[in-house]
Amino acid sequence: MIANNMLHIKISDLDLCLESSWVWPHIQKLYRELEHKAIDFKPHIWVSDDWYCPDGVAGFAIPFYLLNTNLINLEKRIIGEAEGETSDWLMMLLRHETAHALDNAYHLRKNKRRQNLFGLTSKKYPLSYTPRPHDKNYVQHLDEYYAQAHPDEDWAETFAIWLNPKSNWREVYKNWPCIKKIELCDEIINKIKNKRPLCQKVIETEPFTKIDISLKNYYDDKKRRLKLLKRKKFEELLIKEISIDTKKEIQKEKTTIKTQLCHSLNRKEHFIDKFIEDILEICSRHKIKLKKTKRNKKISILELLKSSSDEYFKSGIHKVYM
């Protein structure tokens, strides 16, 4: 199937099979990692429209597009990325979702020390959050500093680091405050080793075979939810404004620029960090260079960022939408 001709197809009509896909060997690898840690639990995994673990279920869903190369390419073309499209990224997400399933299976959220250190599961999930790139109270695992989104995501990200046999977490995080969270995770998991799950409930919510909407409707909804239309508009405006090896210039003067922007825009440091990080990513992706003025002088980087900041913050691009 050609990606451009796929949008009329209903998700439920897609010819997909998890066991025969490239994802399946990675699931088996995940199971081996759990077995190596003496965890007597294998999360049930099914195919739906996104990555998620329903509350109270000892398993999780993965998105349908991962099972087909054309669907992966379609996702990347419309959304900008296909979450989990590479082996390393896929394993990171599998470990993360396993943490949620394990939480349900062994009722780990009831641990008082975890509640005190990570926060309560009952805390309401935000519609969006603003990442703080330099906050060392959280591990850095998935993109967008996802551990900062909610206490349960903090737990899942911490577990994923703990489970990864190559993470070397004791050394990497030894001087970070979040080392206490990884050590507590280690302690909590050690207590359930070789023990049968308390909950083995498996309910495949929204399997792809029951999702009776077209790929076009799916992507229209997804773009709205992720506010991608606003991001695209901002990028188009930015591209018209800029062009010097902007990325190198910003990186070279990053500390000075950040200090000046915090003062002139009257915004907290983590907002400015995210702003600069996003600008660098856009410049890199579009290979942007700063234009020259009529007098053949380069536009000031600071002037450029100040002029771009109003649209950036007004549109909410600095937030990560859940």
- Chain segment 154-192, per-residue pLDDT in tens: 999 999 999 999 999 999 999 999 999 999 999 999 999
Section 294-305 average pLDDT? 55
Pair 177, 299 in one domain: no
What confidence score (pLDDT) does residue 103 get? 96
Task: Please report which helix (H) or strand (E) contains residue 47, including its range.
Answer: strand 44-48
Question: Which residue range(s) make up the domain with 267?
Answer: 228-321
Residues 26 and 149 in one domain: yes
Indicate whether 83 and 180 sit together in one domain: yes
Cβ-defined contacts of 129-133 (< 8 Å, 24+): 129/319, 129/320, 129/322, 130/270, 130/271, 130/274, 130/318, 130/319, 130/320, 131/270, 131/274, 131/320, 132/270, 132/273, 133/270, 133/273, 133/274, 133/277
pLDDT at site 289: 54
pLDDT band (50, 70, 90) for residue 292: very low
> For residue 61, what is the DSSP state?
E
Across residues 130-150, what is the average pLDDT?
Answer: 92
- 290 has a pLDDT exceeding 50: no
Report pLDDT digits (tens) over 21-54: 999 999 999 999 999 999 999 999 999 999 999 9
* pLDDT-derived band at 16, boundaries 50, 70, 90: very high
DSSP type of residue 240: H
Q: Which of 175, 210, 245 is the last residue of a domain?
A: 210
Question: Considering the domain boundaries, does residue 91 fall inside one?
Answer: yes
Average pLDDT, rounded, for the chain: 86
Torsion on CA atoms 239, 242, 243, 244, rounded to nearest 10 = -150
Phi and psi at residue 48, to the nearest 5°: -140, -145
Question: What's the token pair of residue 12?
Answer: 């439920």
Task: Name beta bridge partners: 255.
Answer: none
Output the six-digit token pair for 32: 């081996």
Question: 185 with 254, same domain?
Answer: no
* Judgement on whether residues 73 and 198 belong to the same structural domain of the protein: yes
- Of residues 109 and 297, more confidently modeled: 109
Among 31-35, 61-65, 173-177, 238-242, which is the least confidently predicted range?
238-242
Is the residue at 223 inside a domain? no
Q: Are 159 and 292 found together in one domain? A: no
Residue among 145, 141, 152 at smallest CA distance from 114: 152
Per-residue model confidence (pLDDT) at position 3: 59
Contact between 79 and 222 (Cβ < 8 Å): yes
Q: Is residue 221 part of a domain?
A: no
Residue 302 in domain = yes
Comparing 70-74, 186-190, 193-197, 219-223, the range with the smallest average pLDDT is 219-223
Q: Do 184 and 275 fall within a single domain?
A: no
* Distance in angstroms (rounded) separating the CA atoms of residues 185 and 174: 15
Give the mean model confidence (pLDDT) for residues 282-292: 61
Query: Domain boundary at 166, 183, 210, which?
Result: 210
From 51-65, 92-106, 241-255, 267-281, the region with the lowest mean pLDDT: 241-255
> Looking at the predicted structure, is the pLDDT value of residue 8 above 60?
yes
Q: Is residue 238 part of a domain?
A: yes
Residue 29 and residue 136 share a domain: yes
CA atoms within 13 A on the CB side of 225: 10
Q: Is the pLDDT of residue 108 over 90?
A: yes
pLDDT reading at 196 higher than 50 = yes
> Are both 88 and 174 inside the same structural domain?
yes
CA 11 – CA 200 distance, rounded (Å): 28
Q: What is the pLDDT of residue 136?
A: 96
**What does DSSP assign to residue 132?**
-
Q: Which of 160, 178, 210 is the last residue of a domain?
A: 210
Give the pLDDT score at 93. 98
Q: What is the mean pLDDT of residues 286-305?
A: 54
> 281: which 2 tokens?
């990513």
Say yes or no: 104 and 158 in one domain: yes
Which is more confidently placed, 235 or 217? 217
Instruction: Clarify whether residues 45 and 191 are in a common domain.
Output: yes
pLDDT band per the 50, 70, 90 thresholds, residue 218: very high
Q: How many structural domains compose the chain?
A: 2
Q: Which of 14, 5, 68, 23 is nearest to 211 (CA)?
A: 14
- 274-291 burial: b if 16+ Cβ within 10 Å, else e: bbbebbbebbeeeebebe
Is position 217 within any domain? no
pLDDT of residue 311: 67
With cut-offs at 50, 70 and 90, classify the pLDDT of residue 294: very low
pLDDT value, residue 244: 46
Within a domain: 156: yes
Query: Are residue 176 and residue 87 in the same domain, yes or no?
Result: yes
As a whole number of angstroms, the distance between CA 151 and CA 67 comes to 30
Does 288 fall in a domain? Answer: yes
